[in-house]
Amino acid sequence: MREMTIPESGSKRKLLDAAEQLFAEKGFEAVSVRDITQLAKTNVASVNYHFGSRDGLLALVMMRYMTPVTEERLARIDSLERKWSGKSAPLEEIIDALVRPLVGQVRKSELAERLFYKLTGRICAEQGDGLPPQIEDQFRQTGERFSRAFAKALPTVPPEELAWRIHFVIGAMIHMLTHQEILHRVSGGVSGAPTMEATMSRFIRFAAAGLREGTATEEPVKKGPQATFDF
Amino acid sequence: MREMTIPESGSKRKLLDAAEQLFAEKGFEAVSVRDITQLAKTNVASVNYHFGSRDGLLALVMMRYMTPVTEERLARIDSLERKWSGKSAPLEEIIDALVRPLVGQVRKSELAERLFYKLTGRICAEQGDGLPPQIEDQFRQTGERFSRAFAKALPTVPPEELAWRIHFVIGAMIHMLTHQEILHRVSGGVSGAPTMEATMSRFIRFAAAGLREGTATEEPVKKGPQATFDF
DNA sequence: TCACGATTGAATCGTTCGTTTGACATCGCT
DNA sequence: AGCGATGTCAAACGAACGATTCAATCGTGA
């Protein structure tokens, strides 16, 4: 007796692995099903057999990466709100809860580290065009939770202003993930290659400073409309 | 006697205009030469006749947008260095010199405002893949000048740290340009649609705060290696 | 062993892509 | 008028794309 009632062939996993590697390297549009099946050493028809279509495979690759990220993000923000019940959590911890799950999933993946970051960055950057509705739902959910947390941590920033600052933070985050190779040549530090932990720490300090710009002596403002970002 | 010795047909301009509009709307990869020639109301062969290839047209579209941006950026940083000879220019003015030319060229273009921003954002985001060497040269030149200016304005930030912060700023800038439609729904302000001037002002304050994070009481550091960004 | 669903394989479908061809039109010039 | 340069046009090229077909093969429970 197998543990799965649905027959699982090796091809399905091979295709997913090959696809995510190629998507990370060249982008979603630049990879054909023939590229994928060639790397996976399967037949061209296998993609359509296992996933229905190329888009079906693409959606599954995205889901396999973003779902645990979203879950960890929501779990961390839950944990923060429990820990700081009533009061607002420190800004740095909120940003940490937003970014760390993105880079924390790398160890659970067989993909090379830099490719993992590229892939997650590409997913976040896609946005609105051809994202699967499940991914969009995750982004919307994440966006609402973190927007509220940011608003609570920065009560003196007007909602409209805060929305733009969060927008800038997201842009910086995506760029950090997708284009790190630009800086990892230069940023060698004292001992070899810099860790992602160090980069993330830099990012959190940068984002926190930008988010709380000029909030030293102002008064709280009342609530306003809310935006959805591509987290 | 004509003013141009080289014959200029209307098709060439029509193709450039149609191409930049479609590239801005759908991205560089998603537009075919048939889409372009259909919008320009010319023959399919006209692209290859006037520009040699699709890539030739793409390169010219990019050049027509980025060259004046680069020139204005360098002129502004020149002007800043003359104005603050010896001393370092204020951080906000350096960022302004970096961003304002990007949005300042919009009035010289016949393209709709939001499409203009999208196009410039797309060019900046492309980076490394298929950018024409002239554009890469412009980015390298701009990067070197502004990196030096930032280093002068922030002498207490280690070069490696500064490189990462500039990296974050560039990411936020690209995201602001390419995905503003996300926020222009929410960010209505008191009187209708927000101006790009207001958005730019928000960005400059955000970027300045992030760049100078924690630089209140530190001492200057010596120079280090330098990075090239996709400005 | 047989039967049957799950999976694979080679071949091919129709479409779209960037590019090329060659005929034709238009212009300025001697 | 004649000529060459310049531009336009319909048609077609070969290549690559996602998807589909259908026969062959595999695995497993009856």
User: Model confidence over B24-62: pLDDT tens digits?
Assistant: 999 899 999 999 999 999 999 999 999 999 999 999 999
User: How many inter-chain contacts (A to B, CB under 8 Å) are there?
Assistant: 138
Number of helices (H), then strands (E), in chain A: 10, 0
CB proximity A14–strand C (7 Å threshold)? no
Is residue B212 a contact partner of residue B91, using CB atoms and an 8 Å limit? Answer: yes
Percentage of chain B exceeding pLDDT 70? 84
Confidence of residue A6 (pLDDT cuts 50, 70, 90): very low
d(CA A197, CA A68): 19
Q: What is the pLDDT of residue A219?
A: 61
Nearest CA-CA distance, residue A138 and chain B, Å: 16
pLDDT in tens, A140-159: 999 999 999 999 999 999 99
Query: Can you give the pLDDT at residue B226?
Result: 66
Q: Over 90: is that where the pLDDT of A36 sits?
A: yes
Asked whether residue A9 carries a pLDDT value surpassing 90, the answer given is no
Query: Chain B closest CA to A8's CA: distance in Å?
Result: 35
Kindly determine whether the C-beta of residue B27 is less than 7 Å away from any atom of nucleic acid strand C.
Answer: no
Do B186 and A207 count as a contact with CB atoms less than 8 A apart? Answer: no
Q: Please give the structure tokens belonging to residue A3.
A: 């543990």
Judge whether B206 and A210 are in contact, CB under 8 Å: yes
Residue A14 pLDDT > 70: yes
Q: pLDDT tens for residues B73-84?
A: 999 999 999 999
Q: Which of B176, B186, B225 sits opposite A226 (nearest CB)?
A: B186
In angstroms, the CA of B56 and the C1' of D9 are apart by 22
Task: Count CB-CB contacts under 10 A for residue A217.
Answer: 6
Query: How high is the pLDDT of residue B166?
Result: 97
CA distance B157 to B154: 6
What backbone torsions phi and psi does residue A25 show, to the nearest 5 degrees? -75, -45
Residues in chain B: 231
Q: Would you say residue A92 has pLDDT above 60? A: yes
| pLDDT band of B19, cuts 50, 70, 90 | very high
Chain A partners within 8 Å of B227 (Cβ):
182-183, 185-187
Residue predicted with more confidence, A86 or A132: A132
Q: A156 with A140: CB under 8 angstroms?
A: no
Q: What pLDDT score was predicted for residue B72?
A: 96
- Chain A closest-CA separation from residue B138 CA (Å): 16
Strand D, nucleotides covered by protein (CB < 7 Å): 6-12, 16-22, 28-29
The percent of residues above 90 in pLDDT, for chain A, comes to 61
Residue A116: the pLDDT is 79
- Structure tokens belonging to residue B18: 């149609």
pLDDT at residue B222 in the model: 63
d(CA A51, CA B102): 43
Q: Which nucleotide does the CA of B56 lie closest to, via C1'?
A: C18
Confirm if A227 and B185 have CB atoms less than 8 A apart: yes
B187 contact residues in A (CB cutoff 8 A): 160, 163-164, 227
Q: For residues B57 and B156, is the Cβ–Cβ distance under 8 A?
A: no
